[in-house]
Amino acid sequence: MSENSLYPGLNLGDKHGDAHVQAESTVFGFWVFLMSDLIIFGILFAGYASYLDPIGLAGGPGPKELFDINSVAIQTVLLLVGGVAYAGVSLTVKYGHGRGNLVAWLLVCAAFGAGFLFFEVRDFISQAGKGGTPQVSGWLSSYWTLGGLHGIHVFCGILWIFAMIGQVATRGIDDVVKVRLSMLGVFWHFLDLIWVGIFSFVFLVPLA
Amino acid sequence: MTKPNTGHINPQESAASEIKSYATGFVISLILTVGAFAALLSDLPNTWKVVVICTAALLQIVTHMRNFLHLSFSGNQSREDLLLVLFSASLLAIMAGGTWYIMSDLSGRMHQTGESGSSSHRALAAYSNNGKPQQVWLSNVPLSRN
């Protein structure tokens, strides 16, 4: 990258004038929120790791009975592709490729996010069917809290995407929309980063 | 607040390099993800599986930060962003690492599951039992973790 980054995420660049300058403080503020979110996730990870022993399982079903590795792999790919697809949104805004492209890329992101949620919810339902409900053991409580919180984040991200599609349709791609799309991008990529921790430490390590 | 933006860049050239950066990040992430899942399904000893999965996860998190979140550690990032990330990471290391350490230490001292307790805890437990057979708590709990 040949230019200086003023804030996390793909920078709009000098060409965007006011939006680029305004994004510096706004996206930085949003980044502060995301770092506090990171602390919440980190503590939930620590709780999950602490409960991952026979006492924490309390005689309830464990990782080997409940986790479906194929479904986790599908979710991982869906979220990774959905995250990278946001590059299309960022680059469309930065280089002014028009509203149609922008909305199309946003819909691609939302579709992959929704696909991810579909498989995650399906897993939660089948796990509850196998007796793996949150109240059974400390380990299951921490698993549902961590996975559920991430799922709620993805759901909020999808709602946000549709809110932005509405704003792009009514306001056009003005400075405010550009800054909001920059924040959404950081949020969307951040969820992907958290999922890397979840599929590795929540699903793969206990199964190893 | 930050270094001023200097130098004019050719937009087409910049777009190509940005697409390349995203594509690189995507390919690296995909390889690391496949590597982690392959390690799990392989015949490696369990310890090595965990080592491979954790290493792949850390590398992928770094890749996401560099290529998708565009956090650069080479000096053209605004100082506040870097400080915030590093401060959050150290807070997280203290709180999450501390939680995990204390809880596994407690587990080792109180339940003597043998897995999370270090050898010194077991030695202490054996000493306090004066050579009598150790009573295993919650012995009806199946050891479903391997």
**pLDDT confidence of residue A107:** 97
Query: Considering only CB atoms, which chain A residues are within 8 Å of B53?
Result: 200, 204-205, 208
| A143 lies in some domain | yes
Average pLDDT of chain B? 76
Is A82 near chain B, with CB under 8 Å? no
Residue B129 has pLDDT above 50, yes or no: no
| A93 lies in some domain | yes
Domain containing residue A168: CATH number:
1.20.120.80
State which residues of chain A have pLDDT below 70.
Answer: 1-4
CB pairs under 8 A between A and B: 192
More confident residue, B105 or A203: A203
Tens-digit pLDDT profile for residues A97-113? 889 999 999 999 999 99
Tokens 């991810």, located at residue: A116
Question: For testing the chain A interface, which of B1, B61, B64 should be mutated: the one with the most A CBs within 10 Å?
Answer: B64
B141 contacts A59? CB cut-off 8 A: yes
Let me know: does A183 contact B25? Beta carbons within 8 Å. Answer: no
**pLDDT confidence of residue B136:** 47
**pLDDT confidence of residue B7:** 45
Query: Considering only CB atoms, which chain A residues are within 8 Å of B19?
Result: 87, 91
**pLDDT confidence of residue A189:** 96
**pLDDT confidence of residue A16:** 86
Q: How far is B78 from chain A (nearest CA, A)?
A: 5
| A5 lies in some domain | no
Confidence of residue B76 (pLDDT cuts 50, 70, 90): low
Confidence of residue B131 (pLDDT cuts 50, 70, 90): very low
Q: Provide, rounded to the nearest whole percent, the portion of chain B with pLDDT above 70.
A: 62
**Domain enclosing residue A24, as ranges:** 14-207
Confidence of residue B6 (pLDDT cuts 50, 70, 90): very low
d(CA A31, CA A8): 7
**pLDDT confidence of residue B142:** 53
Tell me the mean pLDDT in the region B86-111: 88
Residue B8 has pLDDT above 60, yes or no: no
Residue B9 has pLDDT above 60, yes or no: no
| A59 lies in some domain | yes
Total number of domains constituting chain A:
1
Query: Considering only CB atoms, which chain A residues are within 8 Å of B115?
Result: 53
More confident residue, B114 or A26: A26
Q: What is the DSSP string of A99-159?
A: HHHHHHHHHHHHHHHHHHHHHHHHHHHHHHHTT--TTS-HHHHHHHHHHHHHHHHHHHHHH
Tens-digit pLDDT profile for residues B21-37? 999 999 999 999 999 99
Tokens 């498989």, located at residue: A119
**pLDDT confidence of residue B94:** 94
Question: CB A5: neighbour CB atoms within 10 A?
Answer: 22
3-class state of residue B117 by DSSP: coil
Model pTM score: 0.84
Choose the closest CB to B7 out of A2, A5, A94. Answer: A2
Residue B122 has pLDDT above 50, yes or no: no
Residue B123 has pLDDT above 60, yes or no: no
